[in-house]
Amino acid sequence: MHLAPTQPVPEQQVHPESLGLVAGRGRLSGRRIIVIGAGQRPIPDENPPVGNGRAMSILFAREGATLACVDMSSEALEATCQAVAAEGGTAFGELADVRQADTLEPLVERCVERLGGLDGLVLNVGISKALPIARQNAADWDEEYAVNVRSHMLIARAALPRMAPGSSIVLVSSLASQRAAGRNPAYESSKAAQVALARSIAAAGEPMGIRCNSLLPGLMDTPMGRDASRRRPGRAAVVPFGRQGTGWEVAYAALFLVSHESSYVNGHALLVDGGLGVGIARS
C-alpha cells in the first residue's frame, strides 16, 4: 500500500501546466479577447516570475485567440506582445490608465474595431497600497476603488453591447476578498466588490448570452506576490502543498472561464488558492 507523506514536497504538486510548458490545443480558436492588465510590474529579482496578466495573454494566444493587450506601462506591454509573437500568436498593445474614466469606452471601442469583434474580456488590473485602516485616507481609498472596481464596471459596461452572444467576461479578484488576513481594508473590500460586480455583470449579460465570472487567486508567486512577501516575509508560511501558486495556474483557470468549456458557469467566484481559503493549510 502506498502511503502519502504527511508533508509533501512542493515538486509533487508542480506539473507542466503549472510552469506554462504545455502546447496549445485550440481551446480559444477564433476568439477575440481583450486583456486589461496584460503587463507586469518590474521587481528587483534577477529572474522574476511570470505575472497573471502576461501568463493569460501568452496562454490565450497559444490556444488560438487574437488579443488586445492593455496596460499602463509601455515597456511591460511591449514585453507581453513580444512574448505572444515569439510563440506565433497575434496580439497588439494599447496603452491606458484605467484611473482616467473618460478614456475607457473609447479604449474598448478601439480594441473592438482592431480585433474585428469581441468574444472575451479579462479584467486583471488592480492595485494595493497596503495601508492599514489607521493610515487610510480618502484619496488613497478612492484611487484603489477607481482602479479595482470603477474601471471594471466602466469597461464591462462599454464591452457588453459590443460582445457577441456566447462571449465571456472574467474579473480577477483575490482570496483577499474573502478574509482580512492582510489588514488591508481598501484592497480587501474592493476585491470583495469585484466579486459582487461580476454577479451583477452576469445578470446584465444573461439576456445577451454573455457570461461573467470572478477569479480569486490565493498566495501566488508573481511579481505582485513577491512584493507582498517582502512586506510580510511570513505570509506564505502555511500555503497548501508547500508552495505558492504560479501565474500559469491562474491563467489556466481564466482560460476555462473565458472558453466555451465553462458555458454554464455564470456569476461564479472561482478560488485558485490550493484550498487555503477553506482552511486547507500546512501546520
Distance of alpha carbon 251 from alpha carbon 18, whole angstroms: 10
Q: What is the DSSP letter of 271?
A: E
Surface-to-core class of residue 277, CB atoms within 10 Å of its CB (0-12 exposed, 13-18 middle, 19+ buried): middle
- CA 198 to each of CA 28, 169, 204, 213, 278: distance values in angstroms, whole numbers, following the listed order: 22, 8, 10, 6, 21
Helix (H) or strand (E) run with residue 36 in it: strand 32-36
Give me the residues paired with residue 217 across strands: 272
Enter the C-alpha cell of residue 265.
458557469
- pLDDT tens-digit profile, the chain (283 residues): 344 445 556 667 899 999 999 999 999 999 999 999 999 988 888 889 999 999 999 999 999 999 999 999 999 999 999 999 999 999 999 999 999 999 999 999 999 999 999 999 999 999 999 999 999 999 999 999 999 999 999 999 999 999 999 999 999 999 999 998 878 999 999 999 999 999 999 999 999 999 999 999 999 999 888 887 788 887 788 899 989 999 999 999 999 999 999 999 999 999 999 999 999 988 7
SS3 28: coil
Match 484550498 to its residue by C-alpha cell.
Answer: 275
CA-based radius of gyration for the chain: 18
| Domains, the chain | 27-275 (3.40.50.720)
Distance of alpha carbon 230 from alpha carbon 161, whole angstroms: 42
Q: Is the pTM of this model over 0.75?
A: yes
